[in-house]
């Protein structure tokens, strides 16, 4: 069978490259092509590119009419590409468009000034209208897979889609990096026995709870906090000059070695995310034997972690997060094995086997039909 894996142009978002690599393994034996959408191709030539978000309806309209009929199966990985029409369209839902839904008020309040608030409100309306015209109807014609129970609940709530399968992404067990001084550009050794608290994610200030992490660092001056991850535009709202002295902010793309160093050296991992669709980084922390502090509104993380065994669930206030950190520090040896066992439930070979089985069933149905 000829299979196309199609992702939006944001190659580094949502762990797409990792997902694609394991889809390739799962689909071994099929004629496979990987493509990323070039949004410029699907925008009318007469529209100013700097305002392309205002023309989302035009963009999705052209994208939904794109012809991929030469393929027997098409698999799409991100919200924009889900509007493409195909007789055998598999939608793998990693993220719902939650920034305009559950996270609307948090994002709206973050905008300073009436003008920015009005522009954001306009874009939200355009997005909702465009999605209702081109995305939701196509979901009902496609084979839908979600990566978590949380995404499934969003589809039921916002799109009235209840016919879907759940296939979790994976998290392989890793070899810890020595806690001795390494040759990388960061000195992550414990200073005078101080504990090292890590937050690693795409640096979205509101969604990833970076604002509350910084407030927590203020009331825990004897702990060292590292907030690290790829750049996000919202991080510009953080003034690095006013960060507490026990916080190190590292903004960059991390190699696997650099990422392994961070996870290996930390004592506790912070994931006070808001309404997370899955949350692979807490599981990655578990794979290194590290407990996770998360919040009761952290979405799927509440399902993936076990309170006081693999982590600590708390309310979204600095005092409660501090209490969670102290609990995990005190019980880290007891929690270490439980964390590793938890991560082992979500290995990539399980993802590949589940996807392979799904494709084979679809192939049989195609032959019968």
pLDDT of residue 112: 79
Residues of the chain within CATH 3.40.50.2000 domain(s) are: 196-346
Low-confidence winner among 23-32, 92-101, 225-234, 267-276 (lowest mean pLDDT): 92-101
When the candidates are 1.10.10.10, 3.40.50.2000, 3.90.550.10, 3.40.50.300, the CATH number that belongs to 196-346 is: 3.40.50.2000
Predicted TM-score (pTM) above 0.75: yes
Selection from 271, 329, 324 nearest residue 300 by Cα: 271
Share of the chain above pLDDT 70, in %: 88
Instruction: With a cut of 70, say whether residue 187 has pLDDT above it.
Output: no
Instruction: With a cut of 60, say whether residue 179 has pLDDT above it.
Output: no
When the candidates are 1.20.1420, 3.40.50, 1.10.10, 1.10.287, the CATH number that belongs to 2-170+348-368 is: 3.40.50
Low-confidence winner among 107-121, 239-253, 313-327, 346-360 (lowest mean pLDDT): 107-121
- How does pLDDT run across 285-313, given as a tens digit for each residue? 999 999 999 999 999 999 999 999 999 99
């Amino acid at each position: 069978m000829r299979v196309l894996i199609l992702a939006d142009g944001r190659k580094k978002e949502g762990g797409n490259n990792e997902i694609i690599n394991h889809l390739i393994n799962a689909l071994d034996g099929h004629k496979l092509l990987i493509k990323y959408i070039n949004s410029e191709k699907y925008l009318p030539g007469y529209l100013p590119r700097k305002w392309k978000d205002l023309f989302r309806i035009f963009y999705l309209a052209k994208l939904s009419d794109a012809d991929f009929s030469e393929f027997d199966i098409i698999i799409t990985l991100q919200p924009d590409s889900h509007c493409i029409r195909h007789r055998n369209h598999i939608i793998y839902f990693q993220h719902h468009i939650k920034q305009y839904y559950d996270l609307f008020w948090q994002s709206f309040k973050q905008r300073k000034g009436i003008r920015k608030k009005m522009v954001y409100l306009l874009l939200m309306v355009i997005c909702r209208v465009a999605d209702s015209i081109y995305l939701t109807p196509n979901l009902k014609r496609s084979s839908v897979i979600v990566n978590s129970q949380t995404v499934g609940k969003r589809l039921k709530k916002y799109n009235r889609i209840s016919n879907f399968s759940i296939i979790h992404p994976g998290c392989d067990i890793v070899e810890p990096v020595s806690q001795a001084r390494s040759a990388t550009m960061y000195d992550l050794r414990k200073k005078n026995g101080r504990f090292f608290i890590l937050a690693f994610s795409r640096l979205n200030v509101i969604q990833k709870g970076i604002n509350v992490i910084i407030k927590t660092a203020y009331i825990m001056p004897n702990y060292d906090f590292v907030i690290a991850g790829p750049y996000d535009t919202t991080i510009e709202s953080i003034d690095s000059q006013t960060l507490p002295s026990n916080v190190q902010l590292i903004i960059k793309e991390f190699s696997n070695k650099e990422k392994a160093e961070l996870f290996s050296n930390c004592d506790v991992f912070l994931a006070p995310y808001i309404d997370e669709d899955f949350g692979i980084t807490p599981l990655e922390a578990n794979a290194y034997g590290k407990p996770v502090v998360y919040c009761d509104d952290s979405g799927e993380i509440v399902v993936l972690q076990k309170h006081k065994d693999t982590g600590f669930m708390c309310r979204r206030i600095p005092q409660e997060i501090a209490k969670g950190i102290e609990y995990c520090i005190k019980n880290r040896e007891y929690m270490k094995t439980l964390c590793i066992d938890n991560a082992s439930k979500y290995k990539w070979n399980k993802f590949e086997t589940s996807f392979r089985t799904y494709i084979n069933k679809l192939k049989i149905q195609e032959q019968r039909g």
